[in-house]
Amino acid sequence: MGYSVAWVGLRLADPQPLFDAFGVSPAGTVPDFLGLPLVAARLPGGWTVVMANLAAGGDERLFDGSFLSRLSRLGTAVFHCAETSSQDSGVAQWENGDCRWSLVHDADAEDGPLQAAGDLPEPLQSIRVASDPFDVPTKLAAALTGFRHDDPDVEFLALAPAKAAGGLSPTSSCLTPADFEPAAYDLGGKETPWSHGEVPLLTMVRLVAREEEEFLIVRGSNAWFMQAAGIEGGDDLIMIEWQHLQGGRPRHFRLVRAPGPFAGPPPIAFAVDEAHVHLRSFAKLGVPAPGAFLLDVTDDVLGT
């Protein structure tokens, strides 16, 4: 069975700060992670893992270095990702805001499939001679934390969005309209019928992240739309907004993160891959994907 997952593990006496950082709460045990965007596992050695099932719209902040940096200030953080279809995998250890070392499997690399950065701990060097290089990052992550996502004995915890401070509603509460169909996309002021489809959605999102002057709006046939724009001064970070009709009147929302242990207002920055997940969900269903919260900015944007 194939999979596409990413996870981060921290050894914490109390895992609540880690759950708070993701804006989630445990919602009971489940036998596996299939169909669930975000799950957790508590391990005997004191590690707590939060894992994104990317095939089910899991939280792609795990690929955001600034997010991992903040998590590592809570405690030493081990990051791992693996995707069977592309044979991509990787592991990294973060401490006090910095990535100490990493090892990535890239089957297409000219100088070998395993690409290392930093000093890999000596006890882990022997694992690099495993017969399957793709599995080496997974074995390293398991050696450090005791966790493997494909271990049949792991008991997973389902994670549900927690109610954010200020009464923000999670995107998982959005109701999918029965009659939604994508109608057009507007990239940088040029609107094109959605059926035209010669530019992949991920390509458009990446363009928005690289070019501050660009923006992307995906419009539905029912006057709903979702828009994305790069954040000034951000490094491949995107702001996402969503507008729909409620009682015949438009409501405009900005997608935000739940306020967590890092203080300050709810952050509005999304990594490229996660912005793609939300826009892809909107193009398919007419609503954002789970994993974010809605800040109502109708009055500020529309003056109504």
The domain ranges of the chain are 4-161, 169-302
Half-sphere exposure of 279 (CA within 13 A, CB side): 31
> pLDDT above 70 covers what percent of the chain?
89
Give the contacts of 246 (CB within 8 A, at least 6 positions apart): none
Q: Which residue's entry shows tokens 């069975």?
A: 1
Question: Are 55 and 4 in contact, with CB atoms under 8 Å apart?
Answer: yes
Reported as a single tens digit per residue, the pLDDT across 184-195 is: 999 999 999 997
50 closest CA partner among 152, 145, 138, 169:
145
| Per-residue pLDDT, 199 | 80
Residue 263: pLDDT band with limits 50, 70, 90: very low
136 closest CA partner among 152, 115, 166, 158:
115
Residue 260 above 70 pLDDT?
Answer: no
- CA separation for the pair 113, 125 (Å, rounded): 16
- CA separation for the pair 93, 80 (Å, rounded): 9
| Per-residue pLDDT, 258 | 64
List, edge to edge, every strand of the sheet that includes 4-11: 24-30, 156-161, 38-42, 47-53, 4-11, 77-83, 88-95, 98-105, 114-118
Residue 158 above 80 pLDDT?
Answer: yes
- CA separation for the pair 124, 130 (Å, rounded): 11
> Taking residues 222-230, what's their average pLDDT?
93
* Summary mean pLDDT of the chain: 85
Question: Are 243 and 172 in contact, with CB atoms under 8 Å apart?
Answer: no
| Per-residue pLDDT, 213 | 78
| Per-residue pLDDT, 131 | 56
> Taking residues 30-43, what's their average pLDDT?
87
Strands 190-193 vs 88-95: parallel, antiparallel or unpaired: unpaired
| Per-residue pLDDT, 133 | 83
| Per-residue pLDDT, 128 | 63
| Per-residue pLDDT, 277 | 86
Residue 10: pLDDT band with limits 50, 70, 90: very high
Specify the higher pLDDT residue, 125 or 294. 294
3-state secondary structure 64-107: CHHHHHHHCCCCCEEEEEEECCCCEEEEEEEECCEEEEEEEECC
Residue 7 above 80 pLDDT?
Answer: yes
Beta strands per DSSP E along the chain: 4-11, 24-30, 38-42, 47-53, 77-83, 88-95, 98-105, 114-118, 156-161, 169-170, 182-187, 190-193, 215-220, 225-230, 237-246, 249-256, 270-271, 293-296
| Per-residue pLDDT, 64 | 82
> Taking residues 232-256, what's their average pLDDT?
87
Reported as a single tens digit per residue, the pLDDT across 274-300 is: 888 899 889 988 999 877 889 999 998
Specify the pTM: 0.61
Residue 111 above 70 pLDDT?
Answer: no
Residue 38 CA: distances (Å) to CA of 63, 75, 139: 14, 21, 22
Residue 252 above 90 pLDDT?
Answer: yes
Compute CA 263 distance to the chain's CA centroid, rounded to the nearest angstrom: 20
- CA separation for the pair 272, 230 (Å, rounded): 10
Residue 109 above 90 pLDDT?
Answer: no
| Per-residue pLDDT, 119 | 84
- CA separation for the pair 47, 18 (Å, rounded): 11
Backbone angles phi, psi at 7, to 5 degrees: -150, 160
Residue 165 above 60 pLDDT?
Answer: no
| Per-residue pLDDT, 60 | 73
> Taking residues 178-187, what's their average pLDDT?
90
- CA separation for the pair 124, 168 (Å, rounded): 44
DSSP state of 198: -
| Per-residue pLDDT, 134 | 84
Residue 57 above 50 pLDDT?
Answer: yes
